[in-house]
A and B are shown apart, each in its own frame.
Chain A
Amino acid sequence: MIQYLGKRMGRSLLTLVVIVTLVFILLRLMPIEGYFENYEKLTEEQIQVGLREMGLTDPMPVQILHFYQQLLHGDLGMSRRYRSNVAVVEILKKKIPISVRLGSLSILLSLCVGLPLGTWMAGHKGKWPDKLGTVFIVFIQAVPAVVYYLFIQLYGTTLLGVPLLFDEGNIRCWILPVFSMSLGNIAYYGMWLRRYMVDESTKDYVKLATAKGVPKSRIMRNHIFRNAFVPLVQYLPTSFLNTVIGSIYIESLYSIPGMGGLLVDVIKKNDNNMVQAIVLLYATVGVIGLLLGDILMTIVDPRISFGKKGGVR
């Protein structure tokens, strides 16, 4: 097990190093305005001094080394254009808690609705609950999210009588963002759980369980659901982390002061250091999510033996 975990984590670390380095190099190719608060007003001389101060005139390998040194000290650089000369870490610290709260609520709602939806559809395969659920899933999966988010915001706010923009203190303001954020995950969990349950229900062990006199409801719950849920477990950490670090759409639509909205803001303001930090954060979370998913799989599925399946999924 130690060997497997070590190998798996080594691979994740390698991936991260590749991503970090690539992102760093790519962003150095950007126009240099992104490193100055008020580039337009600066003279050529001031710009050169600034660049030198920030170490941007050094050769690339030196820059990368320097960047990694900073990274190890938890320093992600300074924001220039979004906030003037404030440490990126300080900005993120303020933004993360609200995204975490929003995301946790939404993932909870997705699981509470998505799993029963999938079970319900699988239990009534081919009948109207299945068809109804399919229509919902097709709509959510096919139509770009921003389209229905907009309409939920447009009509939902009127319906609930809440302001268009988010107000942290007002509980009712949380309803629409959380609901909107859940829709995608509800459809995802519903669709895959249904598919896996339908697949599982034709398996031989289900026939054997039926033949030994186990009622269908118990088979559904005790045999089929558990087996169908295993492949979803792998995706669980990723979807949890992705939701928790914020939905880019939702947060900026409702002007929620979280991580997701921040990315859009800093892109619009061309703040290179901020973009770099947030992109790295998202990438890290993505990599960690997959890693956790693999580890979780080895726990829930006794068939996966440690060491044998190093990293190949």
Chain B
Amino acid sequence: MLRYKSKTVSKLEKQVEEHIENMSDEQLFSFAEYDRDRSEKTAYSNYSYWKSTFRAFRKNKVAVALVWVVLGILLFTLIQPFLPGQYDPNYINNDTSGLQFRNIEPCSQFWFGTNSIGQDLWARIWAGTRNSMMIGICVAMIEALIGIVVGVLWGYVRKLDWFFTEIYNILDNIPNTIILILISYIMKPGVPTLIFAMCLTRWIQMARFIRNQVLIIRDREYNLASRCVGTPTQKIITRNLLPYLVSVIMLRMALTVPEAIGNEVFITYIGLGLPTNIPSLGRLIDDGRQLMMSASLRYQLIFPTIVVSIVTISFYIIGNAFSDAADPKNHIS
């Protein structure tokens, strides 16, 4: 641990050294008093898991910057509708003669231009980002919630272990894409359908992870050891288990958001996505795709893809940086 040495301290040290040099042999070779505190002082101590995690995370400048980017985008999508001079994302703009403002390139009136039926792209992009991110965050939260509840049950209630393990073995065999397509095909398109389809089997992975951790609390040697020396269960959970658990839950949640956005884009592309009056990033990209062959209209594809890329890459990097930071192996110093 590097400590900042002030000038006065180094001055003092020098004085001490001079003093020592003037000490006589007799003084030098007399017994020093044994000081218990001094003998303990040198230990590597005051380690705090969370402090170290955040310190390690803060060292990753890219990830820290991206946290601000994501927070900024999230905040902006929330306040954007209340800013002055914003259009309604679904309002079809007409000129004075009643004709639609179709495919107008970015200008001072429509910052990102308009789409093929005269809706303001700027408003649609932010509304779409809001909806897509909300879907992603909802999926992540539901997945975590179900996963944790089932996982704890799975791990603690021994009788249920067999039951859940069998369910896991079946669900884990079914490709996610298929479930996504099937549910979207059968149910009425909409936000709840999408969230339901994505959550339907994802939670089992989280549950299995939690279950394994619960088994570890019961059986891992260092936890048995802790228990033997009388550490209360609560402390074992907060000290030994929770840190690791929370970090992996956070990682999974962070990675779920870009995946959910990707799924939404996919489902929209194959024609099972949200209705057009609920703008989403997938819808915007698909609209842009249909016009991409004409170079002058390509802005309708490029703006949404930039936003999608920024959001997904940010979440991905933040999640990975956090899980790296949460790994005690990276906590040296």
Q: Is A–B contact present in the complex under a CB 8 A cutoff? A: yes
In the complex, A214 has a CB within 8 A of chain B: no
From residue 141 to 158 of chain A, which have CB atoms closer than 8 A to chain B?
141-147, 150-151, 154
- Binary A-proximity of B302-319 (CB < 8 A = 1, otherwise 0): 000100110011011100
Q: Is the CB of A312 within 8 A of B165?
A: yes
In the complex, A299 has a CB within 8 A of chain B: no
Size range of the chain A interface in the assembly: 35 or more
In the complex, B169 has a CB within 8 A of chain A: yes
Of the residues A150, A264, A290, contact of B271 by C-beta under 8 Å = A264
A138 and B313 contact, Cβ closer than 8 Å, known pairs A30-B186, A144-B262, A263-B181: yes
- Binary A-proximity of B234-264 (CB < 8 A = 1, otherwise 0): 0000000000000000000000001001100
- Binary B-proximity of A237-251 (CB < 8 A = 1, otherwise 0): 000001000001100
Q: Is the CB of A279 within 8 A of B309?
A: no
Q: Which residues of B contact A32 (CB under 8 A)?
A: none
Q: Which residues of B contact A252 (CB under 8 A)?
A: 270
In the complex, B48 has a CB within 8 A of chain A: no
Of the residues B169, B270, B312, contact of A15 by C-beta under 8 Å = B169
Q: Is the CB of A150 within 8 A of B266?
A: no
How far, in whole Å, are A134 and B312 apart by their CA atoms in the complex? 15
Q: Which residues of B contact A139 (CB under 8 A)?
A: 309, 313
Q: Which residues of A contact B282 (CB under 8 A)?
A: 144
Q: Which residues of B contact A144 (CB under 8 A)?
A: 258, 261-262, 265-266, 282, 285, 308, 312
In the complex, B293 has a CB within 8 A of chain A: yes
Interface size on B, residues (CB 8 A): 37
Q: Is the CB of B313 within 8 A of A142?
A: yes
How far, in whole Å, are A286 and B176 apart by their CA atoms in the complex? 10
How far, in whole Å, are A73 and B174 apart by their CA atoms in the complex? 24
In the complex, B301 has a CB within 8 A of chain A: yes
A29 and B186 contact, Cβ closer than 8 Å, known pairs A144-B262, A147-B265, A267-B272: yes
Of the residues A146, A164, A275, contact of B269 by C-beta under 8 Å = A146
In the complex, A112 has a CB within 8 A of chain B: no
In the complex, B292 has a CB within 8 A of chain A: yes
Q: Which residues of B contact A249 (CB under 8 A)?
A: 266, 269
Q: Is the CB of A287 within 8 A of B285?
A: no
How far, in whole Å, are A29 and B188 apart by their CA atoms in the complex? 12
CB distance from B73 to the nearest CB of A (A): 15
Q: Is the CB of A12 within 8 A of B308?
A: no
Of the residues A15, A143, A313, contact of B170 by C-beta under 8 Å = A15
In the complex, B54 has a CB within 8 A of chain A: no
Q: Is the CB of B308 within 8 A of A147?
A: yes
The closest CB in chain B to the CB of A287 belongs to: B173
Q: Which residues of B contact A275 (CB under 8 A)?
A: 185
Q: Is the CB of A23 within 8 A of B173?
A: no
Of the residues A12, A29, A146, contact of B265 by C-beta under 8 Å = A146
In the complex, A14 has a CB within 8 A of chain B: yes
Q: Which residues of A contact B1 (CB under 8 A)?
A: none
Q: Is the CB of A267 within 8 A of B270?
A: yes
Q: Is the CB of A248 within 8 A of B182?
A: no
- Binary A-proximity of B168-193 (CB < 8 A = 1, otherwise 0): 01101111011001100110000000
A267 and B305 contact, Cβ closer than 8 Å, known pairs A143-B312, A146-B269, A147-B285: no
A146 and B266 contact, Cβ closer than 8 Å, known pairs A267-B181, A267-B272, A279-B182: yes
Q: Is the CB of B305 within 8 A of A147?
A: yes
| From B170, B292, B298, residue with most partner A Cβ within 10 Å | B170
Q: Which residues of A contact B309 (CB under 8 A)?
A: 139, 142-143, 147
Q: Is the CB of B186 within 8 A of A286?
A: no
Q: Is the CB of A142 within 8 A of B315?
A: yes
Q: Is the CB of B293 within 8 A of A164?
A: yes
In the complex, B289 has a CB within 8 A of chain A: yes
In the complex, A27 has a CB within 8 A of chain B: yes
A286 and B265 contact, Cβ closer than 8 Å, known pairs A26-B186, A141-B316, A142-B315: no
Q: Which residues of A contact B316 (CB under 8 A)?
A: 138, 141-142
List the 8 shortest-distance A-B pairs measured between CB atoms, nearest first. Answer: A142-B316, A144-B262, A286-B175, A144-B265, A142-B312, A15-B173, A142-B313, A264-B270
What residues of chain A have their CB less than 8 Å away from a CB belonging to chain B? 11-12, 14-15, 18-19, 23, 26-27, 29-30, 138-139, 141-147, 150-151, 154, 164, 242, 248-249, 252, 263-264, 267-268, 275, 279, 282-283, 286-287, 290, 311-313
The 16 listed contacts between A and B (C-beta, < 8 Å) are: A14-B170, A142-B315, A142-B316, A142-B317, A146-B289, A147-B305, A150-B305, A151-B305, A154-B292, A242-B175, A252-B270, A267-B181, A279-B182, A282-B178, A286-B173, A286-B178
